[in-house]
Amino acid sequence: MARPTALTADQARARLHELTVIDVRTPGEYASGHLPGAHNLPLDHLDQALPALKTAADRGALLVVCASGTRSATACMRLSEHDISAATLTGGTTAWTQLGHDTHRPAGTRTPWAMDRQVRLAAGTLVLTGLLAARRRPRARLLSAGVAGGLVFSALTNTCGLAKILAKLPHNRPRTTDLEATLAALTG
């Protein structure tokens, strides 16, 4: 089994010319800004792309990227189960941009809010709505309690059901990934 590794943003920048960068974020997140030369391959399409990723890894090192490093670490573990070596970008595109490194975005693309910001807005709105509605209907506090429980579960499991729901909204899906073109680029 291949063992996943990690690169800091500065290490990745120094080696960018020799890395094949795979961005496992949603198409909307990818469109908001990605590492130069990155291929968008959303995490939910990873298994379908295994043969192309194996070919790309045989030609050179793979760097898997997401917003924070969590999804890319998950992707690297799944790749390692198939003997595909890949490194994750520690801190993801967030760390990359905080260091002032260049990102690319398609011309004319409007930038949606970062998913964590959308989650905070939605969760806060639901909690506040539950508390305000509880003034007339005490049972409405259950909405706030449910959101709080969901946030605790999210933190304990390092997953986010609310983010998965929000990612399906139209403003978070400004375009789809051309999976066939991505796979062709990785194998070609």
pLDDT of residue 184: 84
CB atoms within 10 A of CB 81: 11
pTM (two decimals): 0.69
Residues 12 and 105 both lie in one domain: yes
pLDDT of residue 32: 82
Residues 73 and 165 both lie in one domain: no
Q: Two tokens at 41? A: 């391959």
Residue 39 CB contacts under 8 Å (≥ 6 apart), including other chains: 20, 21, 22, 23, 182, 185, 186
The stretch 171-183 carries a mean pLDDT of 73
Q: Domain range holding 141?
A: 115-170
pLDDT of residue 126: 96
Residues 63 and 141 both lie in one domain: no
Residues 84 and 49 both lie in one domain: yes
pLDDT of residue 90: 96
What does the pLDDT look like over 61-117, one tens digit per residue? 999 999 999 999 999 999 999 999 999 999 999 999 999 999 988 766 666 777 889
Can you tell me whether residue 38 is helix, strand or coil? coil
- Please report, for residues 68, 127, 137, 142, the alpha-carbon distance to residue 134 in angstroms, rounded to integers and kept in the order given: 36, 11, 5, 9
